[in-house]
């Protein structure tokens, strides 16, 4: 299996400097060599071209959505790249970049595969809209838009249609949810396993429930992993860190299960902010989780071949 690495140097959705620098930080720290060392062929597709608007024009296109047109533009390009990668039988891995890139990843994956599920691992809901968001930052909106809730420009990224069914969402590690998001969670058929639930039932049961939720229901799963899902005491280098999150081992366990399920069609790793990181500790966690995930994928593919 060929792995496509895609850099998404996007920070407009977070409205904060730093996440745009992450793709090259991953490369400088050997992400290509890491993937190769596990035994995969890897092709770096480079960075998606992101426009650089002036800061004083952030509300130029919509009074409550910062950098709307530029974010849509970047996600249209990302979606096309993801679609092409999956269509060729490759596994695309997006190195973010802020989480508004989930719009493009899901749009591309859902064109390549009819009925996809989405696992969204995140301290935040990312299901705000321009009417509920306290900030207007689009990185808090991509999941809602993907199931058809929010501004039509976000819903219709890449293709004019709703990309996923709400029941095909499994969200893990939420603990910083806005009221509008809580209301939407209550009316949505997707599963939202907040940190309170994860702590109560344990990580094993969480992962069992996740896999059972999708069994026989979807053709493949897009995995969107936000580093802020991890407790901020371990992973400080993200745009919006939150305490009381997953341990690194928990995160590894979730992604390992997805990799070995044979269902993962694409993966985002988002919100590394090198300007906020301390001695590369968050970068190293991201690399370690990627390594563990791909090692699990490699073993399960090798087992399949020898079976």
What are 289's two structure tokens?
């989780």
H helices present in the chain, as ranges:
22-28, 31-37, 68-87, 102-112, 142-146, 152-155, 179-187, 195-201, 203-214, 248-260, 281-306
Q: Smallest distance, Å, CB 72 to Mn ion?
A: 18
Instruction: In whole angstroms, give the CA distance from residue 262 to residue 197.
Output: 26
Name the one range near Mn ion by CB under 5 A: 93-101, 154-162, 171-179, 190-198. 93-101
Q: Is 250 in the site for Mn ion (CB under 5 A)?
A: no
Alpha-carbon distances, residue 15 vs 76, 99, 135, 228, 267 (angstroms): 19, 11, 9, 16, 23
Q: In the complex, which residue's CB is closest to Mn ion?
A: 99
Looking at beta carbons only, is 176 or 296 nearer to Mn ion? 176
Shortest distance (Å) from residue 61 CB to Mn ion: 22
- Indicate which single residue of 70, 122, 256, 268 sits in contact with Mn ion (rule: CB under 5 A): 122
Taking the least distance from each CB to Mn ion, the nearer of 229 and 293 is 229
Name the residues annotated as catalytic: 99, 122, 124, 126, 139, 226, 228, 271
Q: Which of residues 167-226 bind Mn ion (CB under 5 A)?
A: 226
Q: How far is the CB of 142 from Mn ion (least distance, A)?
A: 8
C-alpha span between 132 and 248 (Å, rounded): 31
**Can residue 126 be called a binding residue for Mn ion (CB under 5 A)?**
yes
Angle (CA) 218-86-284 rounded to 5° is 95
Of residues 42 and 66, the one with the C-beta less far from Mn ion: 66
CB of 271 to Mn ion, least distance (A): 6
Nearer to Mn ion by C-beta: 42 or 48?
A: 48
SS3 168: helix
Number of residues that bind Mn ion (CB under 5 A): 4
**Options 27-35, 97-105, 207-215, 286-294: segment touching Mn ion (CB under 5 A):** 97-105
Q: How far is the CB of 270 from Mn ion (least distance, A)?
A: 6
Dihedral sign, Cα of residue 244, residue 211, residue 90, residue 110: negative
Sign of CA dihedral 61, 65, 66, 72: negative
Q: Is the peptide bond before 126 cis (omega within 30 degrees of 0)?
A: no
The single residue listed with the structure tokens 């809730």 is: 149
Q: Which stretch binds Mn ion (CB under 5 A): 64-72, 84-92, 115-123, 200-208?
A: 115-123
Q: Out of 58, 66, 99, 151, point to the residue binding Mn ion (CB under 5 A).
A: 99
Is the Cβ–Cβ distance between 56 and 40 less than 8 Å? no
Q: Could you tell me which stretch among 15-23, 27-35, 59-67, 96-104 binds Mn ion (CB under 5 A)?
A: 96-104
Restricted to residues 218-237, the positions that interact with Mn ion (CB under 5 A) are 226
Q: Which residues bind Mn ion (CB under 5 A)?
A: 99, 122, 126, 226
């Amino acid at each position: 299996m060929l792995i496509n690495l895609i850099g998404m140097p996007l920070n407009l959705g977070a409205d904060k400097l730093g996440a745009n620098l992450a793709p090259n930080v991953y490369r400088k720290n050997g992400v290509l060599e890491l993937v190769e060392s596990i035994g995969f062929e890897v092709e770096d597709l480079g960075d998606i071209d992101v426009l650089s608007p002036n800061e004083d024009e952030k509300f130029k296109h919509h009074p409550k959505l910062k950098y709307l047109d530029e974010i849509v533009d970047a996600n249209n390009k990302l979606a096309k790249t993801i679609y092409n990668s999956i269509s060729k039988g490759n596994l695309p891995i997006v190195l973010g970049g802020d989480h508004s890139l989930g719009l493009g990843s899901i749009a591309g994956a859902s064109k390549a595969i009819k009925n996809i599920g989405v696992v969204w691992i995140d301290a935040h809901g990312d299901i705000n809209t321009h009417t509920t968001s306290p900030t207007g930052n689009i990185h808090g909106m991509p999941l809602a838009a993907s199931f058809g809730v929010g501004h039509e420009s976000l819903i219709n990224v890449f293709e004019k249609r709703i990309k996923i069914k709400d029941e095909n969402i499994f969200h893990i590690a939420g603990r910083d949810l806005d009221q509008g998001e809580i209301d939407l969670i209550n009316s949505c058929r997707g599963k939202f396993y907040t940190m309170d639930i994860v702590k109560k039932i344990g990580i094993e049961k969480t992962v069992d429930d996740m896999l059972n939720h999708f069994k026989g229901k979807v053709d493949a799963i897009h995995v969107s992993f936000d580093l802020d899902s991890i407790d901020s005491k371990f992973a400080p280098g993200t745009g919006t860190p939150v305490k009381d999150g997953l341990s690194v081992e928990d995160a590894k366990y979730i992604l390992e299960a997805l990799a070995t399920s044979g269902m993962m069609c694409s993966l985002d790793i988002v919100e590394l902010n090198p300007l906020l990181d301390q001695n590369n500790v968050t970068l190293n966690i991201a690399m370690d989780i990627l390594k563990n995930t791909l090692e699990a994928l490699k073993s399960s593919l090798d087992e399949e071949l020898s079976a």
